[in-house]
Amino acid sequence: MPKISMIIALLCVTLFSAQEVSKQRVTDVLSTLASDEMKGREIGTPENDSAAIYIAKRFEENNLDYCTGNSFLVPFDYKGKTVYNVCGIKKGKSEKTLAFTAHFDHIGTTDQPGDKVFNGADDNASGVTAVIGLADFFKTNKPEFSMMFIAFNGEEKGMKGSKAISNIENLQTQYQNISALFNFEMLATVSKFGPNALYMTGDEFSDLDELFNAKAENGLKINPDPYIGQQLFYRSDNVSFVKKKVIAHSFSTVDMNSASHYHQLNDDVDIVDFDNLTQIINNLGKTFQKLTPKNFAPKYNETVNYN
Q: Name the residues that contact Zn ion, by CB under 5 A.
A: 123
CA distance 107 to 264: 10
CA distance 117 to 109: 5
Q: Residue 105 or 209: which CB sits closer to Zn ion? A: 105
Q: Residue 150 or 216: which CB sits closer to Zn ion? A: 150
Cβ 53 to Zn ion, closest distance in Å? 21
User: How many Cβ atoms are within 10 Å of 92's Cβ, its own excluded?
Assistant: 19
CA distance 222 to 226: 12
Q: In this structure, what DSSP letter does residue 262 have? A: T
Cβ 186 to Zn ion, closest distance in Å? 8
Torsion of CA 122, 204, 231, 179, to 10 degrees: 60
Residues contacting 8, CB < 8 A, separation 6+: none
Instruction: Tell me the pairing of strands 197-200 and 97-103.
Output: unpaired
Q: Residue 47 or 123: which CB sits closer to Zn ion? A: 123
The residue length of the chain stands at 307
Cβ 103 to Zn ion, closest distance in Å? 8
Q: What is the distance, to the nearest Å, from the Cα of residue 61 to the centroid of all Cα atoms in its chain?
A: 17
CA distance 224 to 55: 30
Cβ 173 to Zn ion, closest distance in Å? 31
Q: Which amino acid is at 76?
A: F
Provide Rg for the chain, Cα atoms: 19
Taking CB atoms, the residue at the shortest distance from Zn ion is 123
Q: Residue 213 or 264: which CB sits closer to Zn ion? A: 264
Cβ 20 to Zn ion, closest distance in Å? 29
Q: Residue 123 or 225: which CB sits closer to Zn ion? A: 123
Cβ 121 to Zn ion, closest distance in Å? 12
Q: Residue 256 or 304: which CB sits closer to Zn ion? A: 256
